[in-house]
Structure formats: structure tokens, C-alpha cells
Amino acid sequence: MAHQYAKIAFTETVRQVQREQNSRQGYASMDTGEDHNYLLSAMEAEFIAQRDSFYMASVSETDWPYVQHRGGPNGFLKVIDAQTIGFADYKGNRQYVSTGNFRTNDKVSIILMDYPNRRRLKILGHISQVDEQDWTTLAALEDNHYRARVERGFVIKISAFDWNCPQHITPRYNEVELTALLDPLQAQVETLKSQLKLQMSANKKVDKLEQLGDGELSLVIAGIRQLTPEIRAYELRSVDDSPLPEISAGAHIQVPVQLLNEQLVWRNYSISSNPKRTDCYEIAVKKEQQGQGGSQSLHQQFDIGLRLNCRMPENFFPLAKNRPHSVLIAAGIGITAIKSMALGLLQQHASFELHYAGRSREHMAYADRLTRQLADKLFLYPSNEGKKLMLKSLMSEQKAETHFYFCGPEAMLREYQQHAKALGIDKGRLHFEQFSREINQSANACQLTLAKSKISIEVAAEQTLLDAVLAAGVDAPYSCMTGECKSCVVNVAENSEIEHLDECLTPTERANGKMCLCVSRPKSNTLTIEL
């Protein structure tokens, strides 16, 4: 059956305009589906209970529409049941335009706004005035903590409702909401002041870095933007303003980072800017409080003007060719890899959709920009709004030739792979990106022997073999550090059973004694390799 809101609001004239403006196809799915779009779920009920105002439209007997703003304490618009809402009409309104209009036309339209989170709920229904003798209903509509006299009550039987696009909603905040936002910031400012005072009193001098790294691509930080409370975007340009090497969507770049112990390490970051741009690359970095210190050092040290001698961009996560439709899936900071793909596909006028999950809109980098750029191709799933990305349902609804691209947390990647296997999706249509891999918590410490270098290394349980080799001062080749590129492949010098966790070696290569140092591990406590 048709979506109830579309069935009422999308008249034949409206549909004709949609066809003229090329938006009809985007709403075609609303013509079918379950007949439930007039029954409030727990999500709508909670949303209504949090509102302190709404806009209400009525129509007079002379066919003039009238829009009125109604306000009160949070939750003054009551949810009576799944199809009924109501409110008390307090003394103070002396024009009675809405009340009069409802006597001749009981149709009503209501819009409820959540400005801070840019959400909007539209409701259509039939309204009726509560009988003065119906004390039970009137009492249910009254708010005990609101000092105003109730003159009458209204109940609305819901005919349909629809959630609206947030694209043109400007965030606004009341005093309570601002206080909730500013208090943690003020506390953080006071903490930072105290830390700075202690640092200055101890006469600790921090030298500003001028350049980092020894890579072949010299870039300079030309701009910094705070995307979310934890994520910053860094604009990288060539030192001499020359064009940067061309890249394709999904590419990443290795950036030098100096840890707090002054050790220089390399970190992979997706190039999130438009892949067609050659004037700059943009990377976005989340400050991980529980990480290995790289992102914290980067946030502390990277400033405008810092020169970074990076390694050349690479791409182990390219878009497939001859794809009829693409489904892009991002979770959290994984949007950095997926964003450039979306922009690339948009420029190619290709068929695609982007599904993006995160903690909240405030913590979802690029969500506002992508909303403007992608319109109905973008689907957001902020968990604080009760929205959950159902991977299995999403993947099962796609056509057989669809290609899937995923970037997100390790646990969600495993879910993505498990659903794909259960649904029988060919591996050739599955693509994913990851710049870090969880350490196997069941791994044991082992003794690693480098046959050619004649070095024996103790590898801790929480270390990868590659990390241990590099820490020992051995110049081993590597790139992605996630088992995708084959840069760190070595030959096993003895018949050791290997737990292969890479995504790049073929069964034949594994059988012939090859392994990836960055992710794989011996099943015994000793291993000898040809390095």
C-alpha cells in the first residue's frame, strides 16, 4: 500500500510538478509498502514528548490557510495512543482563529521542529475539541507544572506523518540547550588553563616543528578545520604550489608523525577531498584517546605552515569498473575513505547511494556537507536518534550486480563480511578499507628469527611481527599495515603453520610459504623468515 503521507499530500497536480522537476523517481518508493505510516512508534512518541512548541495549520470556510505557533512546557503535546495526540488550549489566545476554523474544517497539519539536531516531523490529521464535560481527557491533556488556565482541549486522530529532510533547517538553541553545550566546554577551558599554568610554571618549552619526515612528496599544511569535537581536517598543498599527483577515489597517503617520545612513525590517512582536485589533498584525523598516541601527537603538533615530507599516495581501495550500481557504507571516521568515492561517483553521474552511521550528527564528520551535495543519495543513521544501519537488510535488498564498499570499525567490518557470506554475495563485489587491524587477543608471544640478518627478536603478544621487526631497527618494506598490499610479504624459512589474516595472498602463495608480516602470525611460539 502507499505511504499514507504520500497518499494524502501527493495529489496528481503535486506529482505532475515532481515529474517536471525530476524528483518523482525519488519518491516513487513511497507508493508501496506497509500501511503503517499513521501509527506512531516509540521514536515518534519520544520526539513529540521532547518538544516545547509546534506549528499548526488550519483552513477557514473562505479557503484561507492559517498557521499558528503553539508553545508550552516540554511534552505539552501529549501522545494518547499510537494514532492519537492532543493538547490543552490555555487562556491567553483571544483571536480564536484556529478554534473557529476547526468548526467548519477538521483537517489539521502540524510541524514539530528539533532545531539543534535539525529534525522535523510533519503530521496530518483530523482535529476535534474535547467536550467540556469530558474531565478525564482534559485532565490527561493538562500539564500540572504549567501555571495557566485550561480553556479547552483538542485531540487529533493522525491520518499520516512523515520525517522531513534536514537540509535547510538552521540549528537554533534555547537557554537550556546552550547551557548543556557550553558547560562541558567551559570545564575543558578551565582544565586547559590549569594545565597551561602548570606547564609554564615548570618552564617547559615546546619547540614548534618546522618539518617532518623524509618522504618524496613535500607538502605543507595550508588549512585546518574542526569537523567534530574529535575530528580535524587538514588541507595539504605542495610547497611550491605545483599540481599534486593525480589520485583516484579511495586513495590514501602516508603522513609522518612524531610521537611524544620523539619517535617518527608513519600513519595512513584517506584522502577525503574530491579525487579530481590537484591543488590540494584533505585528510581528516580523529583524536583517539585510547590509541597508540599517533593521532594525539598529530593533533598537538600539526599546525598551519608545517612541512610534511610524505610518501606518494596509493590506492588499495579503488572503485570497480563497469559497475551498474554502488552502495557506499561508512561508519564513524570511515567516512573519510568513502567521501571521495561519493564525490567521484557524483561527478561521473553514476548510480550510487551512501549509508553513513555515527554516534550523533554532531560527531559525524562531513554530514552537513554531504547532505547538501548528495541530497536523496545520502542516508544518515545517528544512533542517538534511534536510527540503526541494518547491514543485512540493506545488502539483501540490492540487485545481484551491485558493488558494496565499506569503511568502518573492525567489529562492523566482520558483520559486513558475515552478512555478505550468508547472502552469497560474490567477493568480487565486496570492497573494504581499514588502516588498522585489531590485535589477535589470543595471540602468544613468539621468538622471531631473521635468517638473512641473523637476528633473533622477542615479539610480544600485543605486537605485530612487522612492528617488532621495525622496532629492532630492521629496514623492512611495508605500506598499508593491514594485509591488503603485499608490500611486507616474506618467505617462511621453515615449515611453520601460519595463521593468515591478510586479504591479498592467494591460496597458492600461502601454500608456498609466503606470509604478510603486518597481520599474520605463527601458530607456534617460534618462527624463522627469510629477511
- In this prediction, residue 435 carries a pLDDT of 52
Give the CATH number of the domain where residue 233 resides. 2.40.30.10
CATH code for the domain in which residue 422 is found:
3.40.50.80
C-alpha to C-alpha distance for 79 and 110, rounded to whole angstroms: 14
**Among 40-44, 438-442, 490-494, which stretch is predicted with the lowest mean pLDDT?**
438-442
Collapsed DSSP state (helix, strand, coil) of residue 47: helix
The answer to the question of residue 85 being in a domain is yes
- Give backbone dihedrals phi and psi of 344, rounded to 5 degrees, phi first: -65, -45
Q: Is residue 171 part of a domain?
A: no
| Co-location of 381 and 424 in the same domain | yes
Range of the domain at 239: 211-310
* Residue 66 domain flag: yes
Question: What's the CA gap between 31 and 503, in Å, rounded?
Answer: 43
Instruction: Return mean pLDDT, the chain.
Output: 87
The continuous run of DSSP H or E covering 67 comes out as strand 65-71
129-185 tens-digit pLDDT: 998 788 888 888 888 776 667 788 999 999 999 988 777 888 888 888 888 888 888
Flag whether pLDDT at 66 surpasses 90. Answer: yes
Average pLDDT on 276-303 reads 87
Q: Which amino acid is at 34?
A: E
Please report which confidence band the pLDDT of residue 203 belongs to, taking 50, 70 and 90 as the band edges: very low
Tens of pLDDT along 216-274? 999 999 999 999 999 999 999 999 989 999 999 999 999 999 887 788 888 889 999 99
Residue 440's pLDDT band, with cuts at 50, 70 and 90, is low
Phi, psi dihedral angles at 316 (to 5 degrees): -105, 10
More confidently predicted of 441 and 298 = 298
Give the domain-ending residue among 138, 163, 188. 163
- pLDDT tens per residue, range 74-119: 899 999 999 999 998 877 667 899 999 999 999 999 999 999 888 9
In total, how many domains does the chain have? 4
Q: How many CB atoms lie within 10 A of CB 290?
A: 4
pLDDT of residue 380: 96
Is 381 inside a domain boundary? yes
Instruction: Identify whether residues 359 and 455 lie together within a single domain.
Output: no
Which of 433, 456, 485 corresponds to the end of one domain? 433
Among 404, 433, 462, the domain-final residue is 433
Provide the pLDDT confidence category of residue 206 given band limits of 50, 70 and 90.
very low
Q: Are residues 351 and 455 in the same domain?
A: no
Regarding whether 497 and 459 lie in a shared domain, the answer is: yes
